[in-house]
Chains A and B, each alone.
Chain A
Amino acid sequence: DVKVTQSSRYLVKRTGEKVFLECVQDMDHENMFWYRQDPGLGLRLIYFSYDVKMKEKGDIPEGYSVSREKKERFSLILESASTNQTSMYLCASSPGQGGKNIQYFGAGTRLSVL
């Protein structure tokens, strides 16, 4: 079974803190994604990566950065957390261009910024 693991289920941080959200997948997938999910807005793509050290902006990249130093790990970084970044963050991975390209999701990290 594909496993996508997010390091924390819940996080509480203060405004201005630097925050790291970690995601690890164990299926050697090329593609990895970070989404945030908010009531009434659904899932919105923040950043994605299709290879090690490669990254692309999604729909809402402002205030975020990412790092992919190893194929299995994709980190989301909030350089200076703000209250409007309080949200549920979901990581996903999928195999390369061939096949069904199903995205597999982690359990999510609920981040509260106070």
Chain B
Amino acid sequence: KQEVTQIPAALSVPEGENLVLNCSFTDSAIYNLQWFRQDPGKGLTSLLLIQSSQREQTSGRLNASLDKSSGRSTLYIAASQPGDSATYLCAVRPSGGATNKLIFGTGTLLAVQP
């Protein structure tokens, strides 16, 4: 059974720092991996999606990498800002299925201090 783990559960950094969030999954048979952002009391916003054949994706100050064989992904945030404060979730889509079912990690709560 696929399990997704995110470490650390919470992280506090000063503004301007570069940081890395980690995601690991137990079964490398995935179709893709997504990173989401969730603000308090709100829904999820998709940040980046990496297909299983890709190594990384970039969007602005965000860079996500994928090492499928080792079951790991990282989300790198450059020059962090207070507006980056949120919960970050990763989710994998298992391969072989007929639907777009996602399996989520429990998230990393990020606080960027001004």
- Chain A contacts to B: CB under 8 angstroms: 4, 31, 33, 40-45, 48, 50, 56, 58, 90, 92, 94, 97, 100-108, 110
Taking the closest CB of chain A, its distance from the CB of B66, in whole angstroms, is 14
| Chain A CB within 8 A of B61 CB | no
Told that A43-B91, A108-B41 touch, could you supply 6 new A-B pairs with CB distance under 8 A?
A42-B104, A42-B106, A90-B43, A101-B100, A102-B46, A105-B44
> Main SS of the interface on chain A?
strand
| Chain A CB within 8 A of B102 CB | yes
B43 nearest CB neighbor, chain A only: A105
B106 touches A40 (CB 8 A): yes
1/0 per residue, CB under 8 A from A, across B19-61: the answer is 0000000000001101010000111111001010000000000
> What number of B residues sit within 8 Å (CB to CB) of A?
24
A103-B34 contact in complex given A42-B104, A108-B41, C-beta closer than 8 Å = yes
21 contacting pairs across A/B (C-beta < 8 A): A31-B99, A33-B101, A42-B105, A42-B106, A42-B107, A43-B89, A43-B91, A43-B104, A45-B101, A50-B98, A94-B100, A100-B51, A101-B100, A102-B49, A103-B46, A103-B100, A103-B102, A105-B43, A106-B43, A108-B41, A110-B41
> What 9 A-B pairs come out closest when comparing CB atoms?
A105-B43, A42-B106, A105-B44, A43-B104, A101-B100, A107-B43, A42-B104, A94-B100, A102-B46
In Å, the complex CA distance between A102 and B59 comes to: 15
A88 nearest CB neighbor, chain B only: B41
